[in-house]
Structure 1
Amino acid sequence: MPDDRSTDEPPITVSRRTALAALGGALGLGAAGVYAASTLATDDGDALAGDFRREDGQSAHLEVNYAGSPVLGSLEADLRLFYWSDYQCPYCKRFDVDTLPKLAENHVATGDLAIVFLELPVFGADSDVAAAASKCAWRVARDDDPNAWGRWHRQVFAQQGDKNDGWASEDRLYEYTRGVDGVAEDELRVCMDERRDAVTAAVQEDVTTAVDDLGLRRATPAFAMSNVTTGKWLGIPGAQPYETFEKVVERLQET
């Protein structure tokens, strides 16, 4: 059964899809490497350093398709962080609140890192609906105001309740959308009505890439960080603190 628990598993270093070495000792991960409990604050503004943008094509080494997914930062960056999440996952919300802003400030804004946001619904029907709605929200916002998707994304996480208690139902997602500048509720509804098959297929492509192609666990959050120059990448399992991502950045930047 899929879960969203944090984990003390070490990242895995690979080149393409062949494992090279485990980094548990090198990165110093262990029981202390997972998140401690923290109070989550919500963010209603454009708090992330850097801008969201539309990109097409796919990553050269991991073959992750950018089309249909928001990218934070420039693909001119040497490092790419691929981030799979589920809106019903509390550890995904924790990453978004505690760690993502630091990565954006310290690495996206400096041009070192681009972050690609992908879907990995694991908790049933409401997770599936939220993932499809996220893809639709991006379709609505990506050409005129890509940062509006970031506001929508944070708005949904800010409403997070217990899994499958109805907070992430389609009707509730439309309610949240009314409070997001740049994502029109009527346009989101049209996308969900008329483009449901297409966005559902895009979500499934995200899942297939993570689980079948890259061999990541079907658990959230899930990450893969790659160096586009060397072709090396690290899978980062579960909810890890900011310091772990810093160590992964340092390791991948080594020549």
Structure 2
Amino acid sequence: MTRLQGNNQGRTVLVIGTLIAAVLIALALFAVRGRPSAGEGQTVRFDLTGQPVLGREDAPVTLVVFEDFKCPNCKRFEEEFMPQIRSQYLDTGKAKLVSLNFPFLAEAARLPVDDSKLAAQAAECAFVQGGSEAHERMRQIIFRAQGPESQVWATKARLKELAGSVEGIDQARFNTCLDNDETAAAVDADERQAREAGVGGTPSIYVNGKLLPSYDAATVGAAIDAALQ
């Protein structure tokens, strides 16, 4: 610590300044600790305008799911639990699912390429072309191709290759969308919503704005059933 040198008057000014700074820090800490974290028993409101939707638009219950394509638990949710949720609630019109991006894993791992964001941009490029159906098909293909969390695998070249398997996608248009980062702003907007809501990881699932403690089909189903009552 650098200390000021000087006479008694200087020392007095230093002490007073230190005391004022300590009071301000204490007040700031009190304000932060006294504010409940978003999602802790609260209902969070999301802007879902223009987002990909599975299920009927007029379904009475809304699921909001934040995912990262590099997240192994997201892959498990999609492959192990989503089929049951889809058949029991989405296909029956009881609920709809809105998919939002929270691409944080590549940045957290300090990878040289932010392929979490690139994968999210690829899914959004499919959405721009073919709507929710194309978005869902692209999402599933990316999750099936998921590589190690600690490695860069969702490169633009690989994502273009995967898009070639998505029905209804114009490859040239998709390539241009991805190369020009045309959907980067949409992905950033999703991430802002995640951070503003206090999302701490993926997958994070909200049922009518309330964060669920787990992502398994039983927990999600119970929350939907409760919301329907």
Query: Which interval holds the TM-score relative to the shorter structure?
Result: 0.7 to 0.9
Equivalent residues in 2 for 1:109-128, closer than 5 Å: 109-124=91-106, 125-128=114-117
Which residue does the alignment assign to 2:84?
Answer: 102
Q: 1:170 to 1:164 in 2, by over 3 A?
A: farther
CA contact (8 A) 1:12 1:236 kept: no
TM-score by length of 1: 0.67
Which residue does the alignment assign to 1:204?
Answer: 188
- d(CA) in 2 for partners of 1:211 and 1:200? 17
1:235 aligns with one of 204, 207, 211: 211
- d(CA) in 2 for partners of 1:249 and 1:65? 18
Point out the structure with the larger strand share.
Answer: 1
Point out the structure with the larger helix share.
Answer: 2
String of CA shifts for 1:174-214, please: whole Å, max 9, x gaps: 111112221232111111234x2x521211111111221x2
**What is the deviation of 1:79?**
0.4
- d(CA) in 2 for partners of 1:155 and 1:112? 26
Q: 1:140 to 1:164 in 2, by over 3 A?
A: farther
Question: How many pairs does the alignment contain?
Answer: 184
Query: Runs of at least 4 residues of structure 1 off by over 3 A?
Result: none
- d(CA) in 1 for partners of 2:58 and 2:52? 15
Which residue does the alignment assign to 2:111?
Answer: none
CA RMSD of aligned residues (A): 1.8
Q: Identity of paired residues, percent?
A: 27
Equivalent residues in 2 for 1:78-157, closer than 5 Å: 78-124=60-106, 125-142=114-131, 146-157=132-143
- d(CA) in 2 for partners of 1:163 and 1:185? 27
Higher Cα Rg: structure 1 or 2?
A: 2
Matched, 1:75 2:57: yes
| Residue segments in structure 2 that go unaligned for 5+ positions in a row | 1-38, 107-113
TM-score by length of 2: 0.74
- d(CA) in 2 for partners of 1:182 and 1:168? 21
